[in-house]
Structure 1
């Protein structure tokens, strides 16, 4: 009897895999005529016993974000219960998928462990000394590395992948802020450093795990230590070993000093008594992940949108030039139109296009949707930012003015009008709202002020073609953002 139960369980686990092989085999058969254009209407997926909506999920695996967003748009309450297959429903996929990379870091734990790390990080993020350190790091990276590379490209007519440039810029910044270590990833030679490459591979494969239609596949590969799972093991090992070496050096450095003169996050954690190597490694790697891809993704899509909307670029440039003589803090604080345009860009192209939570108890949503304990609840900033109900009939327009109103005292000045975090969850909401939100805006505005004041960034993309939005752990632009750099005329 026990053998029969095990056999049935094994068959249920393999059923989705067998169906996917059958589906892919049929899909790969050449057709004599081209497929019809996609329908302009989206139907809700069918659900079957045991496999749920697995066939629909599989059919839309290469456009899952847009597919789920379409389902949300046609659902009367903007909520839909997607029935996953038997094998997928077992366990919380997010922490399982990212466990090897993030360990027990703040983004991969719940309960008391999360609460402790949140309180610890919140205290450090709210210090004036850290803000000043961030400003110094960002400004140094802009003046010493980013601007010289752009000046050289402008003089030579070289085409740059600006997405790559921004990712390198963000990686240098977050490593300095988190570790006090400079990977020098944004040098004129655009080097391929071992730590950066290992981190990138770890993120890509971990993200592929999370989006896997059949998680059993990567789990088997991990068990057998083959393919992508073998590469992930090697990459994560390199990332962790590098991090631990930096931590050991920092501990030695702090022991040799009578007072703390380093203000990076690692020095702060170690000086506050948190010296466990694994704990500090996990939390610092989590912050590198958060700070590396999000700001670079946001700025990549922003610069593309700016090139398509010259009237917005004109207003942003006008504001930047007006603030050019102001101190750094005042300049960033008063860049109201630029702030609004960044918010508007992230509404359409959020750096983290979807996120999920696991229900700890049974609940019922306001629209009557029943949520059972252990169910995975996904919210989709990408779909919410394109909702007519939330943003009006002009939701498709890149319109910074929707975030602004004229100051009643001085009619010529704008005043920023934010949206609540549950309408605009780009930085999450509630207890888990992003600790680095202000740091991210500071960095993005400083980059825009430094770059746009001197250069015009001209994307080399065919007119009428929209780049493909690739939803990894943080959204990317497929193929990068090829641009030419043009020095601005002083009169502009």
Structure 2
């Protein structure tokens, strides 16, 4: 009964709003004369603002290209910052200005938090996990997690997880496709399932064996991620909130998907607790064991923590590698240099991590890939007090503030007139004396692919080691050939490519 009453109230409230939106889409508004031209989906100017509904018509018209639309506006803005007006006076500030990014992520870090909008959209899925937490909860999780990303743990991860799964799973699949001249219709999905198995091993010592088949677990994670992302960016949040109350459509599917994922996570946690009780010491040093041994045994809290790391580790690494191999297939001169580096025989390495460290050109090519196609297109915070940004922009309490990583990577102001070129050399200098490349890092606030400041990504080094090991393993035996001229860059919380790739034998 209570839900029915709530729905009636929501419907009563939403009807006049929808009526206003309909009028605007027909080219009319209460404060402007009739117009026969609808809001342009490709405009780069600041979108028109209407009473009550703000720029919702433009938001809806560009929802299929939200990342590109907001990027275009930022590139056209002299300050690389603009404010988007949402409904009912809500404001959303976007920026591609490095000084503003530094202000948000470091200088005034305590003022910019995840905030209620972000938490509301993701709470059903991520709960109090590190990517959805602020304050003491965030600090606790980060402190414990940091131990897992130490040099020793990274080495163990590369040697015992990536190498084994690379030789036992990924390379045999590619070899079979190459010998039989068959097309791997979705190479991105193949890499995604491979990295999912990897991150599950390091996060909780569990191998879901998703690589050779789609499972309810993988499908549920994908569906939940997409639905929660759409929640966050919804033009009318009232719609998804109503659907949630009534358990309809996408919200019904979200509930099912979250249940599927968390039920498996709970089973893993219970088995790990049993293992901890039965053994004095554990062979593994996975993240789950660290949390349980630190005294944090609340099941739901640990579930949220583990899921956050699994989701991050699955989507980001696989996305970067997909774009990387596509770029190599379209830039043979870069592929030749990477191949030369990964196949060099003159250096004998005593440890796989030493080899990965010396892959300087490959490292630069991966950075260049993430500049053009970042694994996370944009990241949002929410101001808990009024603030003045370095570029003179005013931020009011409760405003969402988004630094646009995709726009920053394609900004001529930052990268110069050749920003559109895939050129790993922009990250390198040539050392004449040593006769080798030296990597030159870019300021993290100019290149916030891994965030920056106190919340900088803990898994940065791990992801580079993982990606370089996979690149070396594949390119030593195969050439990746793409049959897509210009793939679509899209994204939810993480980016994806709409593509088809196939592999041919190289040597």
TM > 0.5 fold call: yes
Q: Say which SS state the counterpart of residue 202 (structure 2) adopts.
A: helix
Displacement, 1:265? 1.0
Conserved 8 A contact 2:429-2:437: yes
Determine the structure 2 residue equivalent to 1:173.
Answer: 198
Q: What is the rounded CA distance, in whole Å, between the counterparts of 2:12 and 2:90 in structure 1? A: 14
The equivalent position to 1:314 in structure 2, one of 319, 336, 346, is 336
Q: What is the rounded CA distance, in whole Å, between the counterparts of 1:304 and 1:16 in structure 2? A: 45
- 1:35-68 CA-to-partner distances (Å, cap 9, x unmatched) read 99x8987222121222111122122111111110
Determine the structure 1 residue equivalent to 2:500.
Answer: 482
Q: TM-score, normalised by structure 2?
A: 0.87
Determine the structure 1 residue equivalent to 2:80.
Answer: 78
- Unaligned 5+ runs, structure 2: 1-7, 28-36, 93-114
Determine the structure 2 residue equivalent to 1:211.
Answer: 233
Conserved 8 A contact 1:260-1:271: no
Conserved 8 A contact 2:83-2:91: no
Determine the structure 2 residue equivalent to 1:48.
Answer: 50
Distance 1:53 1:40, change over 3 A: closer
Determine the structure 1 residue equivalent to 2:463.
Answer: 440
State the number of aligned residues: 465
Q: What is the rounded CA distance, in whole Å, between the counterparts of 2:127 and 2:381 in structure 1? A: 18
Conserved 8 A contact 2:155-2:353: no
Q: What is the rounded CA distance, in whole Å, between the counterparts of 1:25 and 1:368 in structure 2? A: 36
Q: Which has the higher mean CA deviation after the structures are superposed, 40-49 or 312-321?
A: 40-49
- Unaligned 5+ runs, structure 1: 1-6, 27-34
Superposition CA RMSD, Å: 2.3
Q: What is the rounded CA distance, in whole Å, between the counterparts of 1:473 and 1:9 in structure 2? A: 28
**1:104-253 equivalences in 2 (<5 Å):** 104-126=128-150, 128-160=152-184, 161-187=186-212, 191-253=213-275
Conserved 8 A contact 1:179-1:265: yes
Residue 460 in structure 1 maps to residue 462 in structure 2: no
- 1:169-217 CA-to-partner distances (Å, cap 9, x unmatched) read 1111011111111111112xxx221222222221121122122121111
Conserved 8 A contact 1:133-1:263: no
Q: What is the rounded CA distance, in whole Å, between the counterparts of 1:89 and 1:14 in structure 2? A: 22
- 1:238-259 CA-to-partner distances (Å, cap 9, x unmatched) read 1111100110011001110011
Conserved 8 A contact 1:88-1:215: no
Q: What is the rounded CA distance, in whole Å, between the counterparts of 1:39 and 1:105 in structure 2? A: 36
Determine the structure 2 residue equivalent to 1:3.
Answer: none
Conserved 8 A contact 2:41-2:61: no
Distance 1:15 1:82, change over 3 A: farther
Q: What is the rounded CA distance, in whole Å, between the counterparts of 1:422 and 1:473 in structure 2? A: 20
Higher RCO (CA-CA < 8 Å; seq separation 6+): 2
The equivalent position to 1:420 in structure 2, one of 443, 461, 472, is 443
The equivalent position to 2:391 in structure 1, one of 356, 367, 380, is 367
- 1:431-465 CA-to-partner distances (Å, cap 9, x unmatched) read 1110000111011100000001100011122xxx3
Q: TM-score, normalised by structure 1?
A: 0.90
Q: Say which SS state the counterpart of residue 289 (structure 1) adopts.
A: helix
